[in-house]
Amino acid sequence: MKKDVAVIGGGMTIFRRRLKETGKELSFLAAKMAMEDAGIQKDDIDMIVMGTAPDAFDGIHMKGENLLDGAAGAGKPYVRVFNGGGTGVFAPIAGWWHVASGVADVCLVVAEEKMGSCYPHPQTAFQHIWDPVLDRPLHPNLVWLFAMEMNRYMTVHGIKKEDIARVAVKNKRNAVGHPCAQLADPNITVDDVLNSEMMAWPVQRLDISPPSDGAAALLFCSEDVVRQYTDDPVWVGGVGWNIDSTMWTNRDLYFPRYVAHAAKMAYKMAGIVNPRKEIDFAEPYDPFDYKELHHMEGLLLCDKGEAPILTREGVTQRDGDMPICPSGGLLGVGNPIAATMGQKVCELYWQLAGKAGKRQIPTNPRVGVGQAWGDIMQMATVMVLKR
Amino acid sequence: MTFTEKQTDPTAPTHWRGNMQADYLYPNGVAGDKFFKHLKNNDNFLATVCPDCEKIFFPPRLYCEDCFVEIPGENWIEVPATGTVRLFTTATINAHGKKMETSKTIGLIDIDKTDGAMLGIIKSSEMDKDLLGLKVKAILRPREQREGTIKDILYFEEI
């Protein structure tokens, strides 16, 4: 018998390019914040899920095991989950199933990433994710790959670069209210983005989120015990995940069909028939500005090619009809891969629980969707939270 | 059939030769930073005491993993650079399966006045004897040569 699952606490460290804390220490700080938010002790936690992306970032093989004592995992049932950039939403999905299955009443999820250890730049680690025989001998770089995908998206729909730049402006401005933010900027303009350094056409410096160190944590709790912790729970409505072929060369990149598959899975579980009407706000994965638009379309929140128009019309602003990335997203808050759970799922919880402070959406939202994305443009993870 | 072929030359199948190069700067962390800075200028160690269970962590940590509480600054203490051998082994073959020119004895040293231990190289006048329970002290680099890393501890020597 499946249990209903509530979120009862969240925590998040500051995000920065290089932090002096170890991964264990970052995990501890985030986990402790979530436990204090929920009013819960280590003894009350049945199981722990750790989400952390490639070992090559921290430079510790089996880093899930290394991190566990900082994640309250010592002497507990503990497991690490990992699917690249999708981990930030997949870790909470794993937390959900620990509780939904009935094996745990309370499950702590910690997501950690320490990209600064990989020196001089974590792109060194990304170089090893490609096919070793077909791609790697040509020394491809992820920015080049996403530049090609961005180009395809712009070309199919006739999208102007300035309409994509508006996403970076919105998110870096939204991040001004976020205490963890790395790249908040209240004065940034579209021209700033368009005039920033060209990296790989059409990708410019301010189109991209920065590598970061950081950690985030969430506490999931069964319907059986939730009233011990809160009278007004935020619930997990649905979860979905989907992965497409690593042979990205054989797919049309203008639309992320794997995101749509994952979204449909989550919406079906949540009983959502018309996502555009029933979802009040969203946190799609935005490591690049065009990805927010791509993922809004993949999440079926608008028609294909419509996301830049909604953005231009202000619909996706925090006070618009469909706020998108009210946290400030990866573009504004930072991109410590797995720890972006802080923007993509913790933010849903904080918004729905009325704990988002300066970032609070003014229209009393009741349903939010968060999504992460990763690997070689192939992984999507989706979670719906509701009140 | 590939599976039934006896393959003795790893370069015989057509292939691309690659590597996985990556370089790191591993931060010592908040607790580690304090520990190593102290080690650079002192001849003893630092440890931390959990404010709840009073367990004494060596090497010092920012938090108690059992009580899951942060250890405050006033709970840092100095402890002697001495201890007792709890476990040891003497290695004679290296990681590549080759005979080592000189054997190496490593052990787990319980550090005095703490609940913690560390891995260390052990040197004793009688290396053939049972080293369990041996009282040892840390031999540190001369202070002017220390860099504030674990390598400042050269080895542990019988007291």
pLDDT category of residue B20 using cuts at 50, 70 and 90: confident
Q: What is the ipTM of this complex?
A: 0.91
> What average pLDDT does range A268-287 have in this prediction?
98
- pLDDT for B24 beyond 80: yes
- Distance separating alpha carbons of residues A65 and A118, to the nearest angstrom: 19
Contact A138/B at CB under 8 A: no
Rg (CA), chain B: 21
pLDDT tens digits, residue range A44-58? 999 999 999 889 988
- The fraction of chain A above a pLDDT of 90, given in percent, is 91
CB A188 within 8 A of CB A332: no
Q: Which residues contact B47 (CB under 8 A, 6 or more apart)?
A: B56, B57, B58, B59, B60, B76, B77, B78, B79, B111, B113, B114, B116
- Tell me which fold the domain A5-120+210-386 belongs to: Peroxisomal Thiolase; Chain A, domain 1 (3.40.47)
C-beta atoms of B18 and A132 within 8 A = yes
Q: Which of B25, B32, B66 shows the shortest C-beta gap to A117?
A: B25
Min mean pLDDT across A23-27, A125-129, A242-246 is at A125-129
- Distance separating alpha carbons of residues A275 and A287, to the nearest angstrom: 23
- pLDDT for B50 beyond 60: yes
For residue B34, the model assigns a pLDDT of: 98
For residue A239, the model assigns a pLDDT of: 98
pLDDT tens digits, residue range B59-83? 999 999 999 999 999 999 999 999 9
C-alpha distance from B50 to closest chain A C-alpha (Å): 14
- Distance separating alpha carbons of residues A386 and A224, to the nearest angstrom: 18
> What average pLDDT does range B51-58 have in this prediction?
98
For residue B3, the model assigns a pLDDT of: 67
pLDDT tens digits, residue range B100-152? 999 899 999 999 999 999 999 999 777 667 899 999 999 999 999 999 999 99
Contacts 24+ apart (CB under 8 A), A245-250: A245/A378, A246/A131, A246/A375, A246/A376, A246/A378, A248/A145, A248/A376, A248/A377, A248/A378
For residue B130, the model assigns a pLDDT of: 86
For residue A241, the model assigns a pLDDT of: 98
- pLDDT for B1 beyond 60: no
Locate the chain B residue with the closest alpha carbon to A118: B24
What residues in A contact B32, CB-CB < 8 Å?
22
Element of type H or E holding B38: helix B29-41
C-beta atoms of A118 and B23 within 8 A = yes
For residue B10, the model assigns a pLDDT of: 85
For residue B2, the model assigns a pLDDT of: 61
H-helix segments, chain A: 23-38, 55-58, 63-67, 87-100, 123-126, 142-157, 161-174, 190-194, 257-270, 275-278, 289-298, 307-312, 329-333, 341, 347-352
- Distance separating alpha carbons of residues A244 and A83, to the nearest angstrom: 12
Under 8 Å CB pairs connecting chains A and B tally to 74
Q: Which residues contact A277 (CB under 8 A, 6 or more apart)?
A: none
The residues in A 64-123 lying below 8 A from B, measured between CB atoms, are 69-70, 72, 74-75, 116-120
Higher pLDDT, B142 or B97: B142
- Per DSSP bridges, beta strands A367-374 and A281-283 are parallel
Structure token digits, residue A288: 């690049």
Structure token digits, residue A219: 């506490």
Contact B55/A at CB under 8 A: no
Type of residue numbered A364:
N
pLDDT tens digits, residue range A318-372? 999 999 999 999 999 999 999 999 999 999 999 999 999 999 999 999 999 999 9
pLDDT category of residue A159 using cuts at 50, 70 and 90: very high
- pLDDT for B29 beyond 90: yes
Contact B67/A at CB under 8 A: yes
Instruction: Give bridge partners of residue A365 from the DSSP assignment.
Output: none
C-beta atoms of A117 and B29 within 8 A = no
Q: What is the average pLDDT score of chain A?
A: 96
- pLDDT for B44 beyond 60: yes
Q: Which stretch, A142-146, B34-38, B86-90, has highest mean pLDDT?
A: B34-38
C-beta atoms of A119 and B28 within 8 A = no
Specify the 3-state DSSP secondary structure of A214: strand
pLDDT tens digits, residue range A101-124? 999 999 999 999 999 999 888 888
- The fraction of chain B above a pLDDT of 70, given in percent, is 96
- Distance separating alpha carbons of residues A115 and A103, to the nearest angstrom: 33
